[in-house]
Each structure stands twice: as C-alpha cells, then as structure tokens.
Amino acid sequence: MYGFGSMIQQLKKNPKTIVFTEGSDPRILEAASRLLAGNFLTPILLGNEEEIYKVAEDEGYNIRGANIIDPEKYDRFDEVVDAFCEIRKSKGMTPEKARPIISQSNYFGTMLVQMGIADCLLGGATYSTADTVRPALQIIKTKPGNNIVSSCFILVRPSATGENEVVAMGDCAINIHPTEDDLVEICGETAECAKIFGVDPQVAFLSFSTNGSAKDPDVTKMHNAAEKAKAKYPNLPIDGEMQFDAAVSPAVARTKVPDWKVAGHANTFIFPDINAGNIGYKIAQRFGNFAAYGPILLGLNAPINDLSRGCNALEVYSMAIITAALA
Ligand SMILES: CC(C)(COP(=O)(O)OP(=O)(O)OC[C@H]1O[C@@H](n2cnc3c(N)ncnc32)[C@H](O)[C@@H]1OP(=O)(O)O)[C@@H](O)C(=O)NCCC(=O)NCCS
C-alpha cells in the first residue's frame, strides 16, 4: 500500500511501542511476532503471561522481546488507578470503582497510552468497537480544536495501470447520527487522513439526491454540510450533495451536475450517517475487492485504533503500523 514503506522507514528511525489489548489472541500473536522480527515497533501484550506464552508456543509464534503485562499484577497498578480517578473525578470516580474498570485491558491499555508508558494502542480483535473506543473517548479525549472523535477507512485495490487505487470513506464507524457540523469536521479530518495515504482529496458529500433532485431533511443536511465545509476549507475540492454514481462516474456527473468539479472523480466520500457509511465501505470491501484499513480514529489526542472482530493477522500487522505511524 502507498506510504507503507515510508511509514516503516519512519518507525525504524523512531521506534515506538504499541499496546495490544487482546494479548493472547492468535492473530495478535502472529502480528506481534512479525513486528518483533521487523524491529521497529515493540508490542505490549496485555493478558495472562502464562496463557500468552502457551498460545504463542502452540501456534508457533516467536514473541521474544514482547513486553507482557497482566493488568492486575502490574507493579504500577495503583498509580494507574489514581491517574484514572484524577481524569474521571468530575464523574465521581473513586479507587474502589476504578479498580475493576482498570483491570479490564481496554481501559488499562488506554491508560498506558495516556500516561506515556506506550505510544499507541490497537484493540478490537474481540472487543466491540464501542468497548474499544469508549475508554479512548473518556481518557484520551478529543484534541484541541475538535469537537468530536470520528473515523475513516482507507480502501485500496490494485488497478489496471499497476498503481493502487486508494479512496477514503468517513465516518463509517463512530458517529451514529452526525449533525451538519459533525460532517464538516469529519470531512476535514478524513481529507487530512487521505493525504497521509497519498490521496489528493476530492470530497463528495453523499446522499440519495444529487443537487436537490429529492427533498428531505436528510438531503438538506448533506447539502448544508457541503456548503459549510466549502466555506471552512476553501482550498479543499468539495461538492455535494450527490449520489454515489454522480460522485464517481464522469458520464453521470456530466448529465446531472456538469459544472461541478469533483463530481465524476471523487476519491474521498462523506456519508450521511453510520448506517450508510458502514454498509458502504463493506460493499466496497466485499464486492469491490478493496482491502479496507480502519476504522482509523480521527480527532483523538493520541492514536488508538480499532480492529474488526473478523480481522486476520495481516490486517492486525498493517493496522499496527498505521497506528504507530500516526503516533
Ligand atoms: C462511540 C460510542 C461507543 C460512544 O457512545 P457511548 O459509549 O454511549 O458513549 P457515551 O455517550 O456514554 O459517552 C462516553 C464519553 O465519550 C464522549 N463521546 C461520545 N461520543 C463521542 C464522539 N463522537 N467524540 C468525542 N467524544 C465522544 C462523551 O462525551 C462521554 O464523555 P464523558 O464520559 O467524559 O462525559 C458510540 O457512539 C457508538 O457505539 N458508536 C458506534 C460504534 C459501532 O458500533 N460502530 C460500528 C462497527 S465499526
């Protein structure tokens, strides 16, 4: 994939540590053994040490050099609990309430990042997206200048020219009912992320309507969001609202919106809500033969990313590199 080589080079110059919340999962162990062999990203595997070594041995993965931490046996556990209580004190957090929360590897791992003990985190091989993301929202929080955490997928497939076709789609995983202003922020963040993967973003705000062909509050939302995004990012090519065919087919774009610049060759897609976005990226992945990298979380103070529970070891390895490169 574009940028992968340069991400690895960057990490070789400045190696990082990454927390895996599901340390005994065979896919995580396979990816960890590959990362350790590459020598640019040190895994911190959370879980029961004995179990992790047993699974690694049974599956034949060499994880020598990995840092294994069992949250409840961690010698700085009390310090982690106190730091969590401080962050959540406005919510009435006490050490008694915090201990069982911090014993869970999703919360514990996120605290390791927050405390600077690890650079970044990748979870979700068995945890749901909500359970991976919630600790990040509560602990790492939204970066200054942003109002929301959102996400995008980078989709990649080989093209006939031999170059990879790369597109970005947001927000397919976090914000269930984004507002107009949320969509503007999702647009800006998704476009920035697309650039990291070599995409010159051409942004389409998607709808079931093209340029007012249908009337509905959902259409108005996408139209207004596109207008607000154009005003906020004057240097970013943006069109909308439009249907997906108008976004990607030059012939359809010529018929429906001949004067629009992005229509017909969009590569960065902003979906109206998580229903459309999540279904949309999976159709591209399953029917369109795209490899899907993500969800890449956008707008957080530190890189925390989520895996699909259906992921394989190669996807874990790729997402680990992407996550660390964002650190
Ligand atoms: C992301 C998600 C888990 C957050 O919802 P939640 O757990 O109900 O979160 P809550 O509303 O309890 O909020 C928890 C905290 O996160 C914050 N938060 C919630 N959504 C946020 C967002 N999009 N951006 C920034 N902060 C957010 C809240 O302000 C709250 O902070 P606080 O506890 O410090 O006050 C929820 O939006 C969700 O489930 N999204 C869909 C995930 C999914 O299933 N995706 C499909 C598979 S990829």
- DSSP designation for 140: I
pLDDT tens, 257-302? 999 999 999 999 999 999 999 999 999 999 999 999 999 999 999 9
pLDDT tens, 4-21? 788 899 899 999 999 999
Measured in angstroms, how far is the CA atom of residue 49 from the centroid of ligand 1?
31
Is the pLDDT reported for residue 119 higher than 90?
yes
In 3D space, the residue among 215, 227, 209 whose CA is nearest the CA of residue 276 turns out to be: 209
Confirm or reject: Cβ of 173 under 6 Å from ligand 1: yes
**Do 251 and 226 contact (CB within 8 A), yes or no?**
no
Confirm or reject: Cβ of 231 under 6 Å from ligand 1: no
Give the total residue count for the chain: 327
Percentage of residues of the chain with pLDDT beyond 90: 91
Confidence of residue 164 (pLDDT cuts 50, 70, 90): confident
- Residue 1's pLDDT is 60
- Residue 246's pLDDT is 98
Closest ligand 1 atom to the C-alpha of 137? 16
Domain parsing of the chain, residue ranges: 4-141+301-325, 150-291
- Listed in sequence order, the residues at least 6 apart from 220 whose beta carbon sits closer than 8 Å to its beta carbon are none
Our separate counts of H helices and E strands in the chain read 13, 11
Measured in angstroms, how far is the CA atom of residue 130 from the centroid of ligand 1?
7
Confirm or reject: Cβ of 142 under 6 Å from ligand 1: yes
Closest ligand 1 atom to the C-alpha of 306? 48
**CATH class of the 150-291 domain in this structure:** alpha beta
Instruction: Kindly compute the dihedral angle of the four CA atoms of residues 233, 239, 243, 248, in this order, to the nearest 10 degrees.
Output: -100
- Residue 161's pLDDT is 85
CA distance 71 to 73: 6
Dump the DSSP string for 89-129: GGGT--HHHHHHHHTSHHHHHHHHHHTTSSSEEEE-SSS-H
CATH of domain 4-141+301-325: 3.40.50.10950
Q: Do the first three CATH levels of 4-141+301-325 and 150-291 match, i.e. the same topology?
A: yes
Percentage of residues of the chain with pLDDT beyond 70: 99
- DSSP designation for 270: E
Confidence of residue 32 (pLDDT cuts 50, 70, 90): very high
Instruction: Kindly compute the dihedral angle of the four CA atoms of residues 58, 59, 63, 64, in this order, to the nearest 10 degrees.
Output: 40
- Residue 2's pLDDT is 56
Confidence of residue 163 (pLDDT cuts 50, 70, 90): confident
Ligand 1, from 137, 151, 177, 319: best to mutate by most atoms within 8 Å of Cβ? 137
Is the pLDDT reported for residue 252 higher than 80?
yes
- Residue 310's pLDDT is 86
Measured in angstroms, how far is the CA atom of residue 134 from the centroid of ligand 1?
6
- Residue 94's pLDDT is 95
Confirm or reject: Cβ of 129 under 6 Å from ligand 1: yes
Q: What distances in angstroms separate CA 180 from CA 122, 125, 186, 272, 273, one per listed residue?
A: 30, 32, 10, 9, 11
CA distance 225 to 204: 11
Q: What angle do CA 253, 201, 250 make, to 5 degrees?
A: 15
Closest ligand 1 atom to the C-alpha of 142? 25
* β 150-158/120-123 pair status: unpaired
Averaged pLDDT of the chain: 95
E strand map for the chain: 16-20, 41-46, 67-69, 120-123, 150-158, 164-170, 203-206, 238-242, 268-270, 291-298, 304-306
Confirm or reject: Cβ of 28 under 6 Å from ligand 1: no
**Do 254 and 156 contact (CB within 8 A), yes or no?**
no
User: Closest residue (by CA) to atom 12 of ligand 1?
Assistant: 134
pLDDT tens, 172-193? 999 999 999 999 999 999 999 9
* β 164-170/150-158 pair status: antiparallel
CA distance 262 to 125: 37
Is the pLDDT reported for residue 197 higher than 60?
yes
Q: What distances in angstroms separate CA 96 from CA 99, 103, 270, 323, one per listed residue?
A: 6, 12, 43, 33
Is the pLDDT reported for residue 33 higher than 70?
yes
pTM here is 0.93
